[in-house]
Amino acid sequence: MKKYGLTLFALILLAGTSCQEKIDIEKEKEAIKAVIEEETNGFMDRDFDRMAATFVEDSTNIRLSASKSGFSYYVGWEEISSLYKKYIENNPEPSTYKYVKTNYKIKVYKESAWAIFDEAVYDNEGEFIRKNISVQFLEKVNDKWRIVYFSLVNTTSYEDEEGDEEEEIEEDEGESETEDTE
């Protein structure tokens, strides 16, 4: 009798765990990338409602950006949306810049995820403007991914022209030493 009880318990346990919904990680990653791209495209088109639809619109939303000249930190959708609305009001024409996102690293959980990626920005002539590294946390809201944390570091602003020149000089000195010793 104990054998049957243990067997029945094991079958119920196995059936319960195998009936749990499996997460299609690759499908979720593609959906996350689509939300990130839609946020950028809505912003570039200066379409506040379209862009806002990609965010969690509550007090937990955070936006952080940094460059060599400083940083900005906004907490709560009310504050963040005011920032975007003011920007769009002052810059109503759609942007012609091109944002190219690469090197995505995404970790998916059942109801949340994070994404890290590089972003190169080009002007309408195709000239490179800057490179950013972005980190975004997303949550599922009504079964759709939404951005709840948005951070951006303008890495180009940290490049030091003097430091680059010193590297070139050091490389040249190393080459001439090699030539002298041969």
> Hey, where are the domains in the chain?
24-170
Fold topology of 24-170: Nuclear Transport Factor 2; Chain: A, (3.10.450)
Q: Which of 117, 120, 131, 126 is nearest to 159 (CA)?
A: 131
Angle at the Cα of 64 (from 59 to 67), degrees rounded to 5?
165
DSSP character for 127?
Answer: -
pTM (global) more than 0.75: yes
Residue-averaged pLDDT of the chain: 85
Give the other-Cβ count within 10 Å of 136's Cβ. Answer: 22
Place of tokens 């022209």: 161
pLDDT digits (tens, 9 = 90+) for 59-105: 999 999 999 999 999 999 999 999 999 999 999 999 999 999 999 99
**Can you tell me the distance from the alpha carbon of 13 to that of 17, in angstroms, rounded to the nearest whole number?**
6
Residue 22: the pLDDT is 86
Report yes or no: 63 and 74 within 8 Å, Cβ to Cβ: yes
